Amino acid sequence: MSVAVVGSVAFDSITSPSGSVENILGGAATYFSLAASYFTKVRVVAVVGEDFTPAQENVFKKHGIDTRGIERAKGKTFRWGGQYLDNLNEAKTDFTELNVFQSFQPRIPKEYEDTQFLFLANIQPTLQADVRRKLNRVCLTGCDTMNFWIRGAREELLQTLKLVDVLLINDTEAKMLAAESNLPRAAQKVLAMGPQALVIKHGEYGATIFFREGAFGIGHHPFRAPALPIEEVVDPTGAGDSFAGGFMGYIASQGEVSREVLKRALFYGGVMGSFAVERFGTERLESLTREEIDARFQIFRELTHLE
């Protein structure tokens, strides 16, 4: 089965202790697509400018990613610049140029209408909801958001969360959304807003999935997956989107959506996020093999005694 993602395709300029790069391919939809493509067919809905060349499109096409949903608009592609010199866990933004992304109105190709798995990457919540309503055959929707929307578009976000099955956010965002400093209590408050499950990403400390009572099976006990210790983090950009790609891609590749599948998907998310940070931009995700992915998943299994 295929998974569709709606989000940003961008050009990034990044500085980390490992060096600097300029105008490399990035964006949430890009990282997600590449990570998910190792598990299932991927469809992208995004917008790019006139500076987006066949060379960049070939990054998608080499992985069998369907780019019919990438709209070409007059102007420049979304650009972002940031640095990780003070803290590898948090980017200091140097500049954000929305360009054609500022007026992005997702257009769903007719060929995407049978989509069954959908990921709403970090865009304006009203646009997320609009895409979800248009794709009415979806059986599982994942969603990301950020503090900007939690603060500035809270009511719109709350409406979107009613349409979402799994929300993927970090500790700080979960506490902000719930207005609750205790993480387990915050998780329960977020689940009450609509999602059946909540994945909270802890960065270098792994991720936890919380389930609503009765969702995807019996019980509601949370499940924690650790992170792999990475010897050298070159570029943390896109780690969360790569996590989401591995998570959603694995789920879409399975014949069922169950609690056990979601737990296992948590590990594949961690695997893809751990690869993404090893090189600048999408370089590592572009060159992976499924054998490398499975080998790293096996290390996770041994760490956690996962069945």
Express each pLDDT in 98-113 by its tens digit: 999 999 999 999 999 9
Burial letters 95-120, b for 16+ CB under 10 A, else e: eeeebbbeebebebeeebeebebbbb
Distances (CA, A) of 91 to 86, 212, 217, 237: 9, 32, 38, 8
Would the pLDDT of 305 be above 70? no
**CATH among 3.30.70.260, 3.40.1190.20, 1.25.40.10, 1.10.3720.10 for 2-304:** 3.40.1190.20
Question: Sorting pLDDT into bands at 50, 70 and 90, what band is 213?
Answer: confident
> Parallel, antiparallel, or unpaired: how do β-strands 78-83 and 10-16 relate?
parallel
Question: Sorting pLDDT into bands at 50, 70 and 90, what band is 218?
Answer: low
Total residue count of the chain as it appears in this document: 307
* Mean predicted confidence (pLDDT) in 32-43: 98
Question: Sorting pLDDT into bands at 50, 70 and 90, what band is 299?
Answer: confident
Q: Which of 96, 100, 146, 102 is nearest to 121 (CA)?
A: 146
Alpha carbon 288 to chain centroid, angstroms: 18
Would the pLDDT of 214 be above 90? no
Contact 208, 222 (CB under 8 A): yes
Contact 3, 117 (CB under 8 A): yes
Question: Sorting pLDDT into bands at 50, 70 and 90, what band is 307?
Answer: low
Within the chain, what is the greatest distance between any pair of CA atoms?
A: 52
Sign, CA torsion 157/163/168/171: positive
The rounded distance, in Å, linking the Cα atoms of 169 and 290 is 26
